[in-house]
Structure 1
Amino acid sequence: MAQAILAGGCFWCTEAVFRRIDGVSEVESGYLGGSVTDPTYKQVCSGSTGHAEAIRVTFDEAVISYADLVDVFMATHDPTQLNRQGGDVGTQYRSAIFPLDDGQRSEAAAGIARWNNDHPGQTAVTTIEGPAQWYPAEDYHQEYWEGEGQRNPYCLAVIPPKLAKLQKGFAERVKA
């Protein structure tokens, strides 16, 4: 099993997308890329720690490649928004990829380039960052969409369009 770390705005939203991908066995919400050890959600939301809300994806490379995960990531959030996704504004909501080795770093750069080539007139502001210390988010953030999220108006407005993008662009990658 391999891992990928991606930050594309609210981790509840990215987690909901990646939990549905064939070959993904686990998605954990958390924080990284900042200056505070063991940050809390409240600290990260303040924008003062430098952390991004992110997901750590555990996946089977025999089923889905890192490059394919990067393509799904780029397609299911808005990589052209600097430090924002929709109504979420601040560096904690930045579009970033945190590669875990040189191979992932190369694949991340290639994925951003593919997205830019496929979207003339638009430029992704997605950064490639790290290495960085991973901090799991509090338990109540894990599997949020499957629980509380489906009663949360914010999630109901943001997550279904992301899931529709996943289904439209990557139907063959969605779990049965």
Structure 2
Amino acid sequence: MDRDTDQSDGPTVREEADQSGDRPAGPDRPPYGLIVATLAISLSAFTAVWGGWVGLGRMVGFGPVNLLPGIGDGLIVDLAITLPIGIEAYAAAALWVAVGGLVHGKGRWFAGVSAATALGLGAFGQAVYHLLEAQGKHTAPDWVVVFVSVLPVVVLGAAGVLLHLVMEGRKHR
């Protein structure tokens, strides 16, 4: 049959979608179901991770601190929040860089390895907290105190390297 004389039974799926204003189904459509499920999983994990890191932070001595002693006595921050924010946010950022194509070669390798390491540290921190909590301990052993206390410094260093790699990668595009 000739294309000009071909009579179909009606509009195609794409034509119907275009007429209704909706985007057509297919490879160009974002996976909304997966996005919603991932957000739900993230919210659930965030809640558990936040509680675990804050609890462990308090067991190792992170707690309320006046950030402006002698200048302003009203700026009190609980430093226990630095653990879930720093470690888990870094893990998410490094994972994004590793799989998002922001860097290549050694930069991608660093992003992937450091994302996996940060996620592993997060899992380890959760396990330690829940183990200590189940044992009824309110203070962590010395080695846990030292280990957890250096994590913000390690994460700061890794974040600095990651940012540098992304910025360098953008220069060479």
* Greater C-alpha Rg: 2
- Tell me if TM exceeds 0.5: no
Structure with the bigger percentage of strand: 1
TM bracket (short chain): under 0.3
Q: TM-score, normalised by structure 1?
A: 0.24
- Which gives a bigger RCO, structure 1 or 2 (Cα 8 Å, sep 6+)? 1
Structure with the bigger percentage of helix: 2
